Structure 1
Amino acid sequence: MTTTPTPPTKTAPAAPPGQAGKNAPTARSLAWARRRHSVARFWSAYRGHRAGLFGLAALALIALTALAAPLLVGSDVQSVTNAPGTALEKPSGEFPLGTDQFGRSLLGLLVWGARISLTVGLLAAALSVAIGTLVGIIAGHYGGWLSTVLMRITDWFLVMPTLVLAIVLATVMSRNVWTVIIAIGVASWPTTARLVRAQTIAVESRPYIERAKALGGGHGHIMNRHVLPNVMPLVLAQTTLGISSAILTEATLAFLGLGDPTVVSWGGMLQDAREAGAVSSGHWWYLAPPGIAIALVALAFTLCGRAIESVLNPKLGVAR
């Protein structure tokens, strides 16, 4: 019996040197893949919190309205000389929320005021959290006399009422939006500093920190590459919760006459209503809209902050 010879198998040519690793994933692509996976996992857990979704939807709607304010109401809504109505008109078809003492549409002022209130709240909370995070990480990492000094300063700010300190700073500085932002940020950072310091101490007690130090990692490397990423979830949750407090503080400062008189904000609208005698005259349409807007935004940020805190730390057991 004759056998037919088997044809030789063709093997693919070997890849030239340097080509084999081209299709291999790089460190940057792996890092981005892990981040995308973390974001997807976070969003999957966040969707389980109905209150957090309600707060997020409300914030998205308010933010879009504030961004589109020049298109919705026009930039001349703040003008006193070109007011389209008469003073203190009741709600009607032309003016759904009525008018103020100058005849300006309260609906237009409410939409335009959202820009200032949200901007002040976001920037003031970011400044507060940035100061608190920096102080907390330095105090928790270095310890010793530096931690003692920083914590005593933190305790001094902590026992000082935030509103009183913000009023003092807003009084001695010039009256503008940046003064309000700085006053709120400088007055409200101690709580974040104490939380971040405690978290930093907990992180630095883990074994991989000792290994990083043994391999020659310096203070900057330890704080930036190991401590900061581990405290960022806490910082994120604290920022979300701090925005609502910042918005309320800004409204209080504006109501007390310490805000920027050249811009329209929700707190400034309440101050104008008080000066126009809306409380004693029963002009409820002048008082209710900005007050409800402040309460709604503060509630929405609080709901989002609680949901984020629950996702990042499931042991808290926040109700869904």
Structure 2
Amino acid sequence: MSAVRRFIGSPEGVIGALLLLVLAAIALLAPLLFPGDPLRIAGRPLLVPFADPAFPLGTDRLGRNVLAGLVHGARASLLVGIAAALVAVAIGAIIGTLAGFAGGLVDEALMRVVDAFQIVPGFLLALAFVSVAQPTLPVVIFAIALGAWTGPARLARAEVLSIRERDYVASARIIGMHPLEIALREVLPNAIPPVLALSAVIVAGAVLTEAALSFLGLGDPNIVTWGSMIAEGRSVLRSAPYLSIVPGLALVATVIGVYLFGEGLATMLARRDRA
């Protein structure tokens, strides 16, 4: 409960959490709110918002329901953001822990790999990977994680360097635990909390990267996403700007919610360290 109280003490964290809860509820209820395929033609093309009660946010060039696409797009965006962050944090935390705990040549070799990945911007790495592979949702998630795991790796390594000399780690060595077991069972769990605070930034970046890939036509064509909706409205931006503005606002709200939630996590962890 103390962790919850520390988080509630951060107003920006509470606002971010509430915003994300609303988005998550919309994403989970999407099949109930708008059953069926959101990509199907549902009405007359280019209906403006609020002109027809059946289509509160209008329709696109093909007559597809914009609100249905927006709700179903929330599922794809949140799924990509959270899944990519989980993969990136898992890879980065394990590599950073192994590098920091082993030291020596292992540390040097793993950190050079991290440097090699950091040379290439994450979006370009994801763009190249998706361009070569088939643009399915799992490929997009892995491609985004491929450019985002280096930050967690460096942060985990820094934490492990300060943890590995503590008494409980020395006790584990004395009782004969294998070094790999010590690293993964004793050191890694204590190095994870600061890395988790970084995951909010990764989620926000992943959501934006997925939208950019979909905007360029490199997303999964069988799934509606906010990026593909923005791209769909690009050709009629002057006559029907709402087709790009509506999903764009949803994207902004998601990123702001994730950022505020991350600020709340950072504040909570800082108060825990002072306690």
Q: Structure 2 counterpart of 1:70, which letter?
A: P
Partners of 2:39 and 2:224 within 8 A in 1: yes
Q: Distance in 1 between matches of 2:272 and 2:22?
A: 31
Residue 314 (str. 1) matches residue 266 (str. 2): no
Bigger mean CA offset, 158-167 vs 227-236: 227-236
Counterpart pick for 1:68 among 6, 11, 29: 29
Deviations 1:51-75 (A, max 9, x none): 1111111111111111111111112
Residue 84 (str. 1) matches residue 42 (str. 2): yes
Over the aligned positions, Cα root-mean-square deviation in angstroms equals 1.6
Question: Which is greater in Rg?
Answer: 1
Residue 147 (str. 1) matches residue 104 (str. 2): no
Aligned residues: 272
Partners of 1:259 and 1:268 within 8 A in 2: yes
Residue 166 (str. 1) matches residue 126 (str. 2): yes
Give 1:250's aligned residue.
Answer: 210
Bigger mean CA offset, 67-76 vs 165-174: 67-76
Partners of 2:83 and 2:141 within 8 A in 1: yes
Counterpart pick for 2:165 among 201, 205, 213: 205
Q: Distance in 2 between matches of 1:153 and 1:258?
A: 27
Shift of 1:300: 0.7
Q: Distance in 1 between matches of 2:202 and 2:30?
A: 25
5+ residue gaps, structure 2, are none
Bigger mean CA offset, 210-219 vs 153-162: 210-219
Q: Structure 2 counterpart of 1:75, which letter?
A: G
Alignment partner of 2:257: what SS? helix
Partners of 2:226 and 2:251 within 8 A in 1: yes
Q: Distance in 2 between matches of 1:158 and 1:170?
A: 18
Q: Distance in 2 between matches of 1:169 and 1:112?
A: 25
1:82-231 equivalence runs, <5 A: 83-92=41-50, 93-94=52-53, 95-231=55-191
Q: Structure 2 counterpart of 1:62, which letter?
A: L
Higher relative contact order structure (alpha carbons within 8 Å, sequence separation ≥ 6): 2
Shift of 1:199: 0.5
Shift of 1:139: 0.4
Give 2:245's aligned residue.
Answer: 288
Q: Structure 1 counterpart of 2:30, which letter?
A: A
5+ residue gaps, structure 1, are 1-39
Q: Distance in 1 between matches of 2:74 and 2:56?
A: 17
Shift of 1:225: 2.9
Deviations 1:256-309 (A, max 9, x none): 1110111101111111112xx122x24221111111111111111111111112
Bigger mean CA offset, 247-256 vs 213-222: 213-222
Q: Distance in 2 between matches of 1:289 and 1:182?
A: 28
Deviations 1:148-188 (A, max 9, x none): 11101101111211111110000000121111011101111
Q: Distance in 1 between matches of 2:38 and 2:213?
A: 23
Partners of 1:66 and 1:112 within 8 A in 2: yes
Alignment partner of 1:135: what SS? helix
Shift of 1:316: 9.3
TM-score (norm 2): 0.94
Deviations 1:122-146 (A, max 9, x none): 1111111111111100100111111
TM-score (norm 1): 0.82
